[in-house]
Chains A and B, each alone.
Chain A
Amino acid sequence: MRLSFRRPEKFSVYWAEIMREMVSVGIGSLGIIAIISMFIGAATTIQTAFQLISDLIPRSVVGKITRDSNILEFSPTISALVLSGRIGSSIASQIGTMRVTEQIDALEIMGVNAPGYLISPKIISGVTMVPLLVIVSVFLALTGGYIACAVSHDVSVADYIIGVQQDFNPVIVTVCAVKAVTFGFMITSICAYQGFYTSGGALEVGQAATRGVVYSCVMIIFADLVISRLLL
C-alpha cells in the first residue's frame, strides 16, 4: 500500500491512467448498476407494501422504508457486491496476467514503481467512482419503486412520493457515502493485491481473481456491519 502511493515518476502519465480507470470503473459499470438498482427498488417497494397491509399504517410508509433501506443498505452494499464481481475480478485478472507474462517485471526494470503505476489509479478510481455509482443507484432504485407503484397499484404513486419525502434524516446519506468510499477502496485494493502477488500461470490468475472477489465480498459485508454500528 505504501509503495502504491509513492510519488509518481511523472504526474501526467499517472493522471491519464487514472482517467482511463475512472471511465472503465464508472461508465463501464453504469449499465449493470442501473438494471440492478431499478429492479431492487421495485422489488423493495412491492415487498414492503405486501408486509404493511394494515389500516393502522399509512401507505406513505412504504415510500419512506424504500428510501431508507435503499440509501442505507441496498444501493451501497448490493452495488459494491456486484462491482466486486465486475471490476474486482477484472482488476485481479488484469494485474495477475501482467505478473505472469513478466509485464510487471518489465515495468520494474524500467525503473517504474509498478505498484504505484498499476494499483494507485485503480484505488483512486474506486474511491471516486463507486460513490458516484451509488448515488446513481439510489436515484434509480427510487425510480424503480415509483414505477412499481405505478404498475402494480399496491401503493398509490402519490403516497409513495409523500413517503419518499417524509422524515428525511441526512445522517443516512453520510452513512451511505462512508460505505461507498470504504467499499470502493476495499474492492480495488484487495483485488489489486491478489493480482499483484499472483505467481504461476493462467490457472493461478483465475484463482487470484476468484480470491479477490470472495475476499472483497466478505470484507464488504463485514465493513457494512461495522459502519452501520458505528454511525447509526
Chain B
Amino acid sequence: MIEIKDVYKTFGENEVLKGISANFKPGKNNLIIGTSGSGKTTLLKCIVGLHEPSMGEIFYDNENFTTMNFEARVPIRKQIGMLFQNSALFDSMTVEENIIFPLNLFTEMSKSEKLDRANFCLKRVNLTGTNNLFPSELSGGMKKRVGIARAISMQPKYLFVDEPNSGLDPKTAILIDELISEITEEYQTTTVIVTHDMNSVMGIGDHIVFLNNGEKWWEGSNHEIAHTNNKELNEFVFASKFMRAAREKL
C-alpha cells in the first residue's frame, strides 16, 4: 500500500500541490485525475521520488520514503515499475535490451533466464517477435506496450503509469487500459495511473482521486463518480455532450 500524507510541493512562488493525502491499495487501479496543470504529474513524481515534496510524507508499506536517502530507496525502487507518458524507452537499445536492462543490473539471472523473462514479458503484452526492433521502429501503442513489458520485467509491487493513453487511438487506448488492469490483478500491484481520459476513468477506475488546482477535491470509485454532486468534478468529467448523455442513461 502507498500512503501519502499532507504533501505540498512548491516551485519557487508557485504552490503546485497543497496538502494532498490519499491511500493507494494493492490490486486496485488507483487513478489520479484532474485538469491540465492541476498537479497530477507533479504528485506522481513526488510519489516515485523524482521530485522531493516541500512538505508531507509518502509511505510504501509503512516505510517512510521521504526521509530515505538514495541508497535506502534502492530496494523500494527495485519494486517499482513505471510507464512514462512518452514511454521513455532507451532509444540506443533494442526492445529486448530495454526489457533485460533492469535484470542485468539487479539480478543474478543467467543469459538464457533473462531472455526467457524478456520473451515472457513481450508475450504478455502481445509483442512476441519484436525483440530486435529499436524503439524508433515501433508505433506509439507498441512503445507503450514495450514500456509496460519493461515495467513488469522485475515483477513490480508498485506500478506507476503517466498518461497511458496520450497520443493513442481509442481502440489502442482501451487495449492499454485493459492490459494495465489485467497486470494489476495478476501481480496484485499497487497501480497508480495519472490520466484525464474519461474512458479510463469509467472503465478501470477502482479508486479515483480528483485534483483541482493542486488540492484533492474528490475521492471515490468509477461507480460513484456518475452520481456525485461535486461541481468541479462534474464539469471535468461531463464536459462533453457525449458524457452528459451517457450519464443520463446510467
Contact surface of A with B, Cβ cutoff 8 Å: 9-10, 13, 98, 101-103, 105-106, 108-113
How close is B114's CB to chain A, nearest CB, in angstroms? 12
The answer to whether A110 and B86 touch (CB under 8 A), given A9-B105, A9-B106, is no
How many A-B pairs have beta carbons closer than 8 Å: the answer is 53
Contact for B48 among A9, A109, A112, CB less than 8 A: A109
**A residues near B75, Cβ cutoff 8 Å:** 111
Whose C-beta in chain A lies nearest to the C-beta of B84? Answer: A102
Q: Once the chains are docked, how many angstroms separate the CA of A10 from the CA of B105?
A: 6
**B residues near A98, Cβ cutoff 8 Å:** 90
Asked if B102 CB lies within 8 Å of chain A CBs, one says: yes
**A residues near B160, Cβ cutoff 8 Å:** 109
The answer to whether A10 and B104 touch (CB under 8 A), given A105-B50, A110-B77, is yes
Q: List 24 A–B pairs whose Cβ atoms lie within 8 Å, in order of A's numbering.
A: A9-B105, A9-B106, A10-B104, A10-B105, A13-B104, A98-B90, A101-B86, A101-B88, A103-B89, A105-B84, A106-B84, A108-B49, A108-B50, A108-B77, A109-B48, A109-B49, A109-B50, A109-B82, A110-B80, A110-B105, A111-B73, A111-B78, A111-B106, A113-B70
How close is A209's CB to chain B, nearest CB, in angstroms? 17
Q: Which 3 A-B pairs have the closest CB atoms?
A: A111-B77, A102-B88, A106-B88
Asked if B138 CB lies within 8 Å of chain A CBs, one says: no
Q: Are the C-beta atoms of A102 and B77 separated by less than 8 Å? A: no
Q: Are the C-beta atoms of B104 and A109 separated by less than 8 Å? A: no
**A-B contacts besides A110-B101, A110-B105, 19 pairs, CB < 8 Å:** A9-B106, A10-B104, A10-B105, A13-B104, A13-B105, A101-B91, A102-B84, A105-B50, A105-B84, A106-B84, A109-B77, A109-B160, A110-B80, A110-B102, A111-B75, A111-B77, A111-B78, A111-B106, A112-B105
Q: Once the chains are docked, how many angstroms separate the CA of A6 from the CA of B73?
A: 15
